Structures are given as structure tokens and as C-alpha cells.
């Protein structure tokens, strides 16, 4: 394509301003073709140049200038705004989070895009899949933010993320905790380390009774059976019963197993000797347990603290510690489609022969992927990665929307801080300008990368 001047054309025109007078003659002379005069170019370019000058060039210069003045813009303070930027606690958190964002988010999104692109390659409904994953790109960060505020709600009853986690957790290891279970005040049990233990030591050979109350009948698991007294075990065994010592409708004897009283299944019972746990057992459906393999002697029987903890409630996604990873998760949801589509286009351009040759040589699919596909894709991966980095540097909306007011300080990023100090209440446009200039400085390497790539492609 001969239209854009390559390097020679560029050096030839030497960066001279578009001079309408002489330009006409030189352009016509150089091209030697029938062409319009170059003042006409200015007519075509004028509106764009006015806008670019007013909205890009002037602001860059003015921001640099403004960043050297104080909040009100009345006093010259040199680089104080820049030193403040790196020492102020709030901007420092923003800076730290931005580093996390720039390091983590582009990598995660690029890898997800690569995986999706490779997986969809041989599937017939790949177009449908791509549309679904790409769809979030079309909606606003505000809408995405609202969507993920809902997903990350703490209560597993209303937040999708925690609902999934707790469901999985309950399936993998069903919790048998009875957080409200407790002994009667007069029962022979004492509190110990979050759980309870029998006041008197029990000997092997003995069958002990561990009565608890405070468990509603609808809290009992389905497998629970009427409580039964345990058979005393052999010489190395200590047995007993953990049950709900409560007869509905009154009656029943306290501290004794009555006919209608239920066992407490799944309770963890420990045998403790000299402060050490020497044996553990779980109660069966009727509440009985057998602590076996003990040396003959006496032990303290303890109900472990785990039996009384609240059930697992999922993660605090929107809390101060997890907020940035949570928002990066939402970012992945939005941008994975972008990475996937670009990488899929790159994949389609890889010559089939290269892959086939490797396969014929007996390489496994993984080797083909690792040694042939990825190296051939690396220019595309680089473009995706750099593009994501540029966008991630300027991330604003998602953080602003997803982080609840109380954790906004912990989720802070540079672009958000820039808005906050200059418009959102801070009213320090000097510091705001310094932050903007800093952001600009951060994208300069990307600018250089972009210009070089462009010149290479059009050389």
C-alpha cells in the first residue's frame, strides 16, 4: 500500500507545519500526479485539528502547568503536588491498587481470552458462545457494576457468589453444627475453649451422658433418631450419648434419656488427657459415640468448639481485603470477550500446515499449543495485553460503582482519586492535575509502542 509515506516520506516532509502556500507546489511536484492543491487538505482537516488542539493538546500543556500550582491555583508550589501524591495515604493506596490492577488484570483477562479462543475453535456453536461472552462489552460499566454489586452481596440468601460457594461447601462437607445448642445451667457440663466438657472425668469402660438443650426440632438433621443409651465399651473404649435433653410438651427427666428425646448426630466428641486431645469420635444418628483406642484410665470428655460455630456464610467480597480482587473479577467478566475475539482472529490466521507438521512429528496437543500456537500468537497476545494495560490504568467506573462507600478508600485507584480530589469533594485541582499528568506519563510507553507498531506495519 503506497498511500502512507514510509520512513522516507516522513523524513522528506521533515515535520514542517502544513504550510498552505508552498505546499501546493511541492506536493504537486513531488507526486507528479494530478492531485488537488494542499490547501484543500487543510479545509478537510480543520474541524478535526481544532478539536484535537482544544481537547487534547491544550489540556496536556495546561494540566502540566496547573499541576505546579496550589489547590486554588493562586500560588506556585513547584513539585509539591507530586511529592504529596506519593506521601499522602489516600493517593498511596490508589497507587498501590493501580499497580495490583495493572499487573493482575491484563494477565488474567488475556489468559482467559486465550483459553476461550482455543476451546471454541472446534465447537460448532462457537459463534453463540462468543456473542454471550462478548455481550458485556456492549453495556456500561455502570450496569456491569450494578450487576456485580448484586452478585457479591454478602448474604448467601441474596448474593449469587456466596450462594454458590455455600452450596458447594455444604455438599462437600455438610455442616452439622448446632450454634444454639447449650447445656442447662445445672447440667454437669462446663464451657471449654468454645465447646463444652463434662465436669467430671470419665473412665474407659464407662458410658457417659452428655445432655444439651437449645436445638429446635426443625434444626435437627433428617437422619436423627431417638436417643439411645450407649453400651459401655471394652477396656480401651469410652462410650456415651449426646442428645437433646428436652421432651416436647413437658415431662421427661432432666439428665436422663427419655423415650421421645432425639440424639444429636454428627457431633465431634474428644477425649482429653492432660490438656491433649487423645481421641475423637463422631456421634451416630442416635447420638451415641465410641472413643476407641484409648489407654485405660480417665479422660475428660469434650464437645469440640466446631460443633457450636455459626455455619459458613461465604466470603466478604465487598470487604476491605477482597474488594480489589472482586472488582478484577467483574472486569474479567466484561473484557474476556474482547481478548477472546482478538485472539480467535489471530488463531484463525495461523497456517494449518504449521500445526499439522507438528502433529505429524508426533507432538502432543499440549506441545503443539505450547511450542507452535503460542509463539505464533505472541504478537496478537502482546497487542491484547498492552491494550488491556492502557484501559486498566484508567479504570474508574467499575471501582466507583462496585465498592460500597465504606470501602471506597480501600478500593481506590488513580483515576478515581483524580476525580475525587478535583471534583468529587476534594476541590484540589492542583493535585488533581498532578495525578492526571502522572497517568499520562504512565501511558507514554504504550504510546511509543503504538507509534512504532504503526510505523512498522505501514513501512
Partner 1 sequence: MSTREDTAAVDPAAAPDPGQGAPQSSLASRIVSRLGSGLLQAVLVLIAVFWLMPTLGLFISSLRSPQDNSASGWWAVLTEPSQLTLENYASLLDNEGFVASFFNTVLITVPSTVLIVVIAALAAYAFAWLEFPGRDWLFLGVVGLLVVPLQVALVPIAQIYGGLGIYGSILGVVLFHVGYGLPFAIFLLRNFFAAIPRDLLEAARMDGGREFTIFRRVILPLGGPAIASLAIFQFLWVWNDLLVALVFADAQNQPMTKALQSEMRQFGANIDVISSGAFLSMVVPLLVFFAFQRYFVQGVMAGAVK
Burial 189-205 (b: 16+ CB within 10 A, else e): beebeebbbbeeebebe
Question: Closest separation between CB of residue 112 and partner 1, Å?
Answer: 9
Query: In the bound complex, what is the minimum distance in angstroms from residue 453's beta carbon to partner 1?
Result: 7
Is 224 one of the binding residues for partner 1 (CB under 8 A)?
A: no
Nearer to partner 1, 270 or 422 (CB): 422
Residue 168 contacts partner 1 per CB under 8 A: no
Q: Where in 183-222 is the site for partner 1 (CB under 8 A)?
A: none
Select from 338, 392, 411, 413 the one that contacts partner 1 (CB under 8 A): 338
Angle at 21 between CA 15 and CA 25, to 5 degrees: 85
Q: Is 243 in the site for partner 1 (CB under 8 A)?
A: no
Q: In the complex, what is the shortest distance from the CB of residue 360 to partner 1, in angstroms, rounded to a whole number?
A: 7
Does the protein bind partner 1 through residue 399 (CB under 8 A)?
Answer: no
To partner 1, the closest distance from the beta carbon of 9 in angstroms equals: 6
The DSSP output letter for 373 is: I
Query: Residue 424: which residues within 8 A CB-CB, separation 6 or more?
Result: none
Please state the closest distance from residue 155 (CB atom) to partner 1, in A: 8
Check binding of 119 to partner 1 (CB under 8 A).
Answer: yes
Residue 1's alpha-carbon distances to 38, 455, 459, in angstroms, are: 21, 13, 9
Which residue has cell 489471530? 346
Neighbours of 319 (CB within 10 A): 15
Q: How far is the CB of 329 from partner 1 (least distance, A)?
A: 10
d(CA 183, CA 254): 11
Is residue 45 at the binding interface for partner 1, with CB under 8 A as the rule? yes
The residue among 28 and 228 lying less far from partner 1, judged by its C-beta, is: 28
Cα radius of gyration (the chain): 35
- In this complex, which beta carbon is closest to partner 1, that of residue 308 or of residue 400? 400
Q: Is 136 in the site for partner 1 (CB under 8 A)?
A: yes
Supply the minimum distance, in Å, between the C-beta of residue 222 and partner 1.
20
What grid cell was written down for 361? 512429528
Question: Which residue in 435, 366, 459, 440 sits closest to 85, CA to CA?
Answer: 435
Within its chain, how far is the Cα of 10 from the centroid? 46
**What's phi and psi for 302, nearest 5 deg?**
-125, 140
- Label the pairing between strands 288-291 and 207-212: unpaired
User: Is 35 one of the binding residues for partner 1 (CB under 8 A)?
Assistant: yes
376 contacts partner 1 (rule: CB under 8 A) = no
Candidates 10, 103, 168, 282; binder of partner 1 (CB under 8 A) is: 10
Quick check: 157 binds partner 1 (CB under 8 A)? yes
Task: Give dist(CA 429, CA 231) in Å, integer.
Answer: 80
The three grid cell numbers given for residue 397, joined into one nine-digit string: 467506573
Site for partner 1 in 255-314 (CB under 8 A): none
Where b means 16+ CB within 10 Å and e means fewer, 65-96 reads ebbbbebeeeeeeeebbbebbeebeebebbbe
Q: Does 251 bind partner 1 (CB under 8 A)?
A: no
> How far is residue 63's CA from residue 391's CA, in Å, rounded to a whole number?
21
Regarding 30 and contact with partner 1 (CB under 8 A), the answer is: yes
d(CA 363, CA 77): 64
Near partner 1 by CB under 8 A: residue from 19, 191, 254, 306: 19
Which of 150, 203, 282, 374 touches partner 1 by CB under 8 A?
150
Instruction: Find the part of the chain contacting partner 1 (CB under 8 A) among 93-101, 150-158, 234-242, 289-297.
Output: 150-158
Question: Residue 128, SS3?
Answer: helix
Three-state SS for 196? Answer: strand
431: left (phi over 0), alpha (psi -120 to 50) or beta: alpha
Q: Pick one of 274, 275, 362, 425: the residue that binds partner 1 (CB under 8 A).
A: 362
User: Do residues 79 and 68 touch, judged by C-beta distance below 8 A?
Assistant: yes
Nearer to partner 1, 33 or 352 (CB): 33
Among 107, 123, 349, 357, binds partner 1 (CB under 8 A): 123
Question: In this chain, which of 77, 97, 131, 305 binds partner 1, going by CB under 8 A?
Answer: 131
Residue 453 touches partner 1, criterion: CB under 8 A: yes
393 near partner 1, rule: CB under 8 A: yes
Shortest spacing between CB 300 and partner 1, in angstroms: 44
CB 414 within 8 A of CB 101: no
Q: How far apart are CA 21 and CA 39, in angstroms?
A: 8
Report the run of H or E that residue 280 belongs to, with start and end.
strand 276-282
Number of residues that bind partner 1 (CB under 8 A): 126
348 binds partner 1 per the rule CB under 8 A: no
Rule CB under 8 A: is residue 374 a binding residue for partner 1?
no
User: Judged by CB under 8 A, which of 71, 163, 350, 376 binds partner 1?
Assistant: 163
Site for partner 1 in 413-452 (CB under 8 A): 415, 418-419, 422-424, 429, 432-433, 435-437, 439-440, 443, 446-447, 449-451
48 lines the binding site for partner 1 (CB under 8 A): yes
Strand partners, 298: 203
- Cβ at position 165, least distance to partner 1 in Å: 13
Amino acid at each position: 500500500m503506497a498511500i502512507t509515506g514510509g520512513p522516507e516520506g516522513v523524513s522528506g516532509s521533515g515535520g514542517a507545519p502544513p504550510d498552505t502556500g508552498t505546499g501546493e507546489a511541492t506536493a504537486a511536484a513531488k507526486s507528479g500526479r494530478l492531485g488537488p492543491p494542499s490547501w484543500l487538505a487543510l479545509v478537510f482537516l480543520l474541524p478535526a485539528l481544532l478539536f484535537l488542539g482544544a481537547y487534547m493538546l491544550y489540556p496536556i500543556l495546561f494540566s502540566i502547568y496547573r499541576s505546579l500550582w496550589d489547590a486554588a491555583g493562586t500560588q506556585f508550589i513547584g513539585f509539591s503536588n507530586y511529592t504529596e501524591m506519593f506521601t499522602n495515604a489516600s493517593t498511596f493506596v490508589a497507587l498501590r491498587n493501580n499497580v495490583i490492577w495493572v499487573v493482575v488484570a491484563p494477565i488474567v483477562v488475556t489468559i482467559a481470552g486465550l483459553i476461550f479462543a482455543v476451546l471454541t475453535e472446534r465447537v460448532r456453536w462457537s459463534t453463540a458462545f462468543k456473542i454471550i461472552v462478548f455481550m458485556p462489552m456492549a453495556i456500561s460499566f455502570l450496569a456491569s457494576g450494578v450487576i456485580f454489586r448484586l452478585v457479591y452481596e454478602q448474604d448467601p440468601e441474596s448474593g449469587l457468589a456466596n450462594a454458590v460457594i455455600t452450596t458447594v461447601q455444604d455438599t462437600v462437607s455438610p455442616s452439622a453444627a448446632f450454634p444454639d445448642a447449650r447445656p442447662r445451667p445445672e447440667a454437669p457440663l462446663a464451657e471449654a475453649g468454645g465447646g463444652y466438657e463434662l465436669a467430671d472425668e470419665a473412665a474407659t469402660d464407662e458410658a457417659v451422658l452428655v445432655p444439651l438443650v437449645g436445638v429446635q426440632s426443625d434444626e435437627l438433621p433428617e437422619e436423627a433418631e431417638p436417643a439411645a443409651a450407649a453400651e459401655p465399651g471394652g477396656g480401651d473404649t469410652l462410650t456415651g450419648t449426646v442428645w437433646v435433653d428436652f421432651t416436647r410438651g413437658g415431662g421427661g427427666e432432666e439428665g436422663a434419656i427419655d423415650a421421645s428425646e432425639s440424639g444429636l448426630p454428627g457431633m465431634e466428641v474428644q477425649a482429653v488427657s492432660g490438656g491433649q486431645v487423645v481421641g475423637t469420635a463422631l456421634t451416630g444418628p442416635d447420638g451415641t459415640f465410641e472413643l476407641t483406642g484409648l489407654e485405660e484410665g480417665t479422660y475428660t470428655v469434650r464437645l469440640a468448639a466446631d460443633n457450636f460455630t455459626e455455619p459458613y456464610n461465604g466470603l466478604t467480597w465487598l470487604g476491605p481485603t477482597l474488594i480489589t480482587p472482586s472488582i478484577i473479577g467483574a472486569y474479567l467478566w466484561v473484557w474476556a470477550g474482547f481478548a477472546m475475539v482478538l485472539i480467535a482472529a489471530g488463531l484463525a490466521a495461523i497456517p494449518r500446515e504449521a500445526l499439522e507438521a507438528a502433529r505429524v512429528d508426533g507432538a502432543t496437543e499440549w506441545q503443539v499449543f505450547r511450542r507452535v500456537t503460542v509463539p505464533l500468537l505472541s504478537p496478537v497476545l502482546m497487542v491484547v495485553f498492552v491494550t488491556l494495560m492502557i484501559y486498566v490504568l484508567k479504570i474508574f467506573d467499575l471501582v466507583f460503582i462496585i465498592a460500597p462507600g465504606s470501602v471506597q478508600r480501600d478500593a481506590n485507584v488513580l483515576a478515581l482519586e483524580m476525580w475525587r480530589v478535583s471534583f468529587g469533594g476534594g476541590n484540589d485541582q492542583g493535585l488533581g492535575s498532578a495525578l492526571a499528568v502522572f497517568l499520562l506519563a504512565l501511558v507514554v510507553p504504550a504510546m511509543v509502542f503504538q507509534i512504532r507498531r504503526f510505523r512498522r506495519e505501514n513501512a
